[in-house]
Each structure stands twice: as C-alpha cells, then as structure tokens.
Amino acid sequence: MIVYSFKEEIRIIIYMICYGICIVGMYDFFVSNCKRKKIKILYEVIYTFLSIVYTYHFSYKLCNGYIPQYSIVFILLGIIVYFIFFKKQFNVIRSKLMCIVNKIITIFRKILKPFRIFKQTIFEFFKRKNKNNNQNTLQK
C-alpha cells in the first residue's frame, strides 16, 4: 500500500472534484443537447461506457497505480458542486456557443454552395453523357 503525504492527498482530492465537475459538464454539453430520443439513448450508453473507462484510467494514472477508496466520493462531490454552482452559467455559455457555431455553419454553407452546385452539374453532365453512349451502342 502506498502512503501519500498530506500535500499529495489534497492534490488528489482536488483533481477528483474537478474531474467530477468535468464529467457532468461534458455530459450536459454532448448528450443532453440531443433532441431525438433513440439517438440520445445511444449517446448515453456510449458516453457512460467511455466515462467509466476514462475514470478508471484517470484514477489509475493520478495515483500511480493505486486507486483510492475515496475517489468515488470526491467525484460525486464534484458532480454535486457542478449542479449547485455551475449548471446555470454553463447553460448560458452553451447557448451562446451554439449561436456562434450555427452562424459559422451558415457562413460555411454560403461559401461552399457554389462548389456544391458545380459538383452537381459536373456529375449530371457525365451521367447524361453515359446514358447517351449506352443508347448509341444499343442502336448499332
């Protein structure tokens, strides 16, 4: 059993609380933003599996191969801290980020629209040409 100093224990506790805040914040950002129920369930399953695996690796690397028994308690404390203090501010920031992302997507669509029309006309030209070649070979 590894014995840590008081300073290292405090560092581990702070990392665990911050990790709990991060885990729930990422869930709010990625999974709860989905509108369709079937896709949201799939996202939740994938997110839960990846977060369990990543939490194990995080705890394992943080404590040099020793996962403390109290790590789950402090991760849950971080989750509670997120819901009490950070959820409202995070939702405001997320809504502003989504507005910015939507504006950027519309700008890219306007920029890329001529290229898409050019691509479609080229494919239509070759499709028409191939149909004419096939009709000509059948008539001969």
CB 9 within 8 A of CB 63: no
Cβ-in-10-Å burial (0-12, 13-18, 19+) of 28 comes to middle
48 falls within a domain = yes
Same domain (yes/no): 16, 65: yes
pLDDT number for residue 126: 65
Q: What's the pLDDT at 59?
A: 80
> Does one domain contain both 61 and 127?
no
Same domain, 6 and 51: yes
Q: Tell which wins on pLDDT, 62 or 16.
A: 16
Kindly state whether residues 7 and 42 are assigned to the same domain: yes
Rounded Cα distance, 34 and 40, in Å? 6
Which range has the worst mean pLDDT, 27-41, 106-120, 124-138?
124-138
Residue 42: name the closest of 26, 55, 30, 29 by CA: 30
Q: Check whether residue 118 and residue 63 sit in a common domain.
A: no
Write down the pLDDT at residue 81: 93
In contact, 40 and 31? CB cutoff 8 Å: yes
Verify that 67 and 36 share a domain, yes or no.
yes
Write down the number of H helices and E strands in the chain: 4, 0
pTM of the model: 0.65
Mean pLDDT confidence for 4-28: 88
100 falls within a domain: no
- 86 & 18 share domain: yes
Does residue 98 lie within any of the structural domains? no
Q: Which domain holds residue 57?
A: 1-90
Tens digits of per-residue pLDDT, 75-120? Answer: 899 999 999 998 888 888 888 988 998 899 888 888 877 766 666 6
pLDDT score, position 94? 83
Number of domains in the chain: 2
Burial grade of 68 (CB within 10 A; 0-12, 13-18, 19 or more): middle
The pLDDT of residue 38: 82
The DSSP string of 1-44 is -----HHHHHHHHHHHHHHHHHHHHHHHHHTTT---HHHHHHHH
